[in-house]
Chain A
Amino acid sequence: MSPELDNLAALAHTPLFGILLTLASYRFALWVYGKSNSLPVFHPFLVASIPVIIVLPLVGVDYEEYRDQTRLIAFLLGPATVALAWPLYRQLHAVRSVLTPIVVATLIGAAISAAIAVGLAWWLGAPAEVVGSLAPKSITTPIAVEVVKSTGGYVSLAAGAVAITGIVGALTAGPIFRLLKVNDQRIKGFALGLVAHAIGTARAFEYGEKAGAFAGLALGLCGLVTAMALPWIWPWVAQWLGQ
Chain B
Amino acid sequence: MIDGLLILLFFQFLGEILIRLTGIPLPASVVGMVLLLVALLLNTPFTQRVAPAAGALIKHISLLIFPLGVGIVLQWHRYEDYAVALAVAVVIGTILSMLLVTLMLKKLMSKAGEPHEP
Write the chain B residue with the least CB distance to A82.
Answer: B32
The interface size of chain B toward A, counting residues with CB under 8 Å, comes to 73
The answer to the question of A5 belonging to the interface, with a C-beta cut-off of 8 Å to chain B, is no
Write the chain B residue with the least CB distance to A51.
Answer: B70
Across-interface contacts of A77 in B (CB, < 8 A): 29, 64-65
CA distance A120 to B82 in the complex (A): 12
CA distance A80 to B53 in the complex (A): 9
Write the chain A residue with the least CB distance to B29.
Answer: A81
The answer to the question of A212 belonging to the interface, with a C-beta cut-off of 8 Å to chain B, is no
- B56-75 contact mask (Cβ, 8 Å, vs A): 1 or 0: 01101111111111111111
Number of A-B contacts (CB under 8 A): 301
The answer to the question of A12 belonging to the interface, with a C-beta cut-off of 8 Å to chain B, is no
CB atoms of A194 and B90 under 8 A apart: no
Across-interface contacts of B96 in A (CB, < 8 A): 116
CA distance A185 to B105 in the complex (A): 11
CB atoms of B105 and A168 under 8 A apart: no
Instruction: Tell whether A82 pairs with B108 under 8 Å between CB atoms, given A48-B63, A112-B101.
Output: no
Across-interface contacts of A86 in B (CB, < 8 A): 36, 40, 50-51, 54-55, 58
The interface size of chain A toward B, counting residues with CB under 8 Å, comes to 100
A53-B73, A142-B61 given. 18 additional CB < 8 A pairs? A26-B66, A48-B66, A52-B66, A77-B65, A79-B12, A85-B40, A112-B97, A130-B79, A137-B90, A143-B30, A159-B66, A161-B86, A161-B89, A165-B90, A182-B106, A191-B105, A195-B101, A196-B94
Q: 26 A-B pairs, CB-CB below 8 angstroms? A: A56-B74, A70-B67, A77-B65, A82-B29, A82-B36, A83-B8, A83-B57, A84-B54, A88-B37, A101-B108, A101-B111, A108-B104, A117-B93, A124-B85, A125-B85, A130-B85, A147-B27, A156-B68, A159-B71, A160-B71, A168-B95, A184-B117, A187-B105, A190-B105, A195-B101, A227-B27
Binding site for A on B (CB under 8 A): 5, 8-9, 11-12, 15, 25-30, 32-34, 36-37, 40-41, 50-51, 53-55, 57-58, 60-75, 78-79, 82, 84-86, 88-106, 108-109, 111-112, 114, 117
